[in-house]
C-alpha cells in the first residue's frame, strides 16, 4: 500500500485570525499529491475550515491537542467530537511542548484511543531530549513512548507518527536526513513488533527545524513520509515550498 506524503503545519500559539484567513485564500490549490494539514489555534479552526471549503482548497485541518473524554467537567478542554464538528480531521498528540508541561504517557495513550474512536487521525509525537541523545537512549525512549501510546490500539495503521527530537525543535539545528532516516527505520521496526501488518502502512513524519531549504533532503529518505513543521509553516511561501519538496515522492513498499 502506498503512503501518501503528508505535510503538517503546526502554528502553535501564533498568527491572527486575519493572517489565518489570508493563508487559506492564498493557498495554492494546484498540488494535490501531497496531503496538506494546517493546525492553527483552536478559535481559528472553524472559520478557516469554512473558508477553505467554500473556496474548494485542498487543505485539511488539525488541532494541537484534545481531551480524551467525550464531554464533562473539564474546564478549558475540547473533545474529539467537538473538533470533528468544526472541520478537524487530525489532532497532534503528545507534542514535546505539552509533555514538558506535564502530559504523561498514560494521558497520551488515552488521547490516541479517543481520537481514533472519534474518527480523528492522531499525529503522535515522539522524540528524545538532548541529554537522552547524548547518553544514547534515543531508541529506548522512543520505544517507551510508542509502546505506552499504542498499547491495545487496534487500528495502528491509521495513526501518524511524528519523530521530533526535542533538541531540533525551534533551534535551527535540524537532525540530518541520515540521522532522521535511521530513527524512522527504528520506529518502523518497533511498530512491526507491535503490529506486523501496520508497519508498512503507518506514515512517519520528521519534525524539528524543517525549512524550505532542507525539506527535499528528508523527502529523499525511504522511511520519511512527510514533515511536521513549526516556525517555517507560518509563512505560506515556505510551507508551500516544503509541500512541493514532497510532490514527487512515492512512499511505501
Ligand atoms: O515543534 C515542531 C512542530 O511540531 C517543530 O518546530 P520548528 O519547525 O519551529 O522547529
For residue 127, give the CATH number of its domain. 3.20.20.70
Q: Within 13 Å and on the Cβ side, how many CA atoms surround 70?
A: 4
What is the pLDDT, as a whole number, of residue 32?
80
Instruction: Report strand pairing: 160-163 vs 59-63.
Output: unpaired
Question: Does residue 200 sit within a domain?
Answer: yes
**1 within domain boundaries:** no
What is the distance between the alpha carbons of residues 103 and 149, in angstroms, rounded to a whole number? 12
| Residues 114, 40, 234, 99, Cα dihedral to 10° | -40
Would 40 be classed as within a structural domain? yes
Query: Model ipTM?
Result: 0.99
Show the cell assigned to 171: 533551534
Percent helix, strand, coil in the chain (nearest 5)? 45, 15, 40
Ligand 1 centroid, distance to 71 Cα (angstroms): 30
Spacing, Cα 100 to ligand 1 middle (Å): 14
d(CA 225, CA 215): 11
User: For the whole prediction, is pTM greater than 0.95?
Assistant: yes
Q: How far is CA 4 from CA 28, 35, 206, 234, in A?
A: 19, 7, 15, 23
Within-domain flag for 253? no
Q: What's the structural domain count of the chain?
A: 1
Task: Indicate whether 251 belongs to any domain.
Answer: no
- What is the best residue among 14, 122, 164, 168 to mutate for testing ligand 1's pocket, by most ligand atoms within 8 Å of CB? 164
For ligand 1, which residues put their CB under 6 angstroms from it?
10, 95, 164, 169-170, 207-210, 228-232
252 falls within a domain = no
In a domain, 99, yes or no: yes
Residue 253 has pLDDT above 70, yes or no: no
- Residue 96 domain boundaries: 6-245
Q: Encode pLDDT of 129-187 as tens digits.
A: 999 999 999 999 999 999 999 999 999 999 999 999 999 999 999 999 999 999 999 99
Amino acid at each position: 500500500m502506498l503512503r501518501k506524503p503528508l505535510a503538517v503545519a503546526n502554528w502553535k500559539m501564533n498568527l491572527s485570525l486575519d493572517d489565518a484567513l489570508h493563508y487559506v485564500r492564498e493557498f495554492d490549490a494546484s498540488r494535490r499529491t501531497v496531503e496538506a494539514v494546517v493546525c492553527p489555534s483552536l478559535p481559528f479552526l472553524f472559520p478557516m475550515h469554512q473558508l477553505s471549503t467554500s473556496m474548494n482548497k485542498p487543505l485539511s485541518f488539525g488541532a494541537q491537542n484534545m481531551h480524551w473524554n467525550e464531554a464533562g467537567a473539564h474546564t478549558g478542554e475540547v473533545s474529539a467530537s467537538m473538533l470533528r464538528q468544526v472541520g478537524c480531521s487530525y489532532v497532534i498528540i503528545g507534542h514535546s511542548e505539552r509533555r514538558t508541561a506535564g502530559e504523561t504517557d498514560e494521558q497520551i495513550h488515552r488521547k490516541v484511543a479517543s481520537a481514533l474512536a472519534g474518527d480523528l487521525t492522531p499525529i503522535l509525537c515522539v522524540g528524545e531530549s538532548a541529554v537522552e541523545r547524548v547518553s544514547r537512549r534515543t531508541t529506548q525512549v522512543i520505544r517507551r513512548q510508542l509502546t505506552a501510546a499504542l498499547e491495545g490500539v487496534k487500528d495502528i495503521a491509521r495513526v501518524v507518527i511524528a519523530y521530533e527530537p526535542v533538541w531540533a525543535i525551534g533551534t535551527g539545528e535540524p537532525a540530518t536526513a541520515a540521522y532522521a532516516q535511521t530513527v524512522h527505520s527504528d520506529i518502523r521496526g518497533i511498530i512491526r513488533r507491535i503490529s506486523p501488518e501496520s508497519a508498512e502502512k503507518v506514515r512517519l513524519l520528521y519534525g524539528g527545524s524543517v525549512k524550505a531549504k532542507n525539506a527535499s533532503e528528508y523527502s529523499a529518505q525511504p522511511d520519511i513520509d512527510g514533515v511536521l513543521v513549526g516556525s517555517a509553516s507560518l509563512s505560506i511561501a515556505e510551507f508551500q515550498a516544503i509541500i512541493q519538496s514532497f510532490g514527487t515522492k512515492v512512499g511505501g513498499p
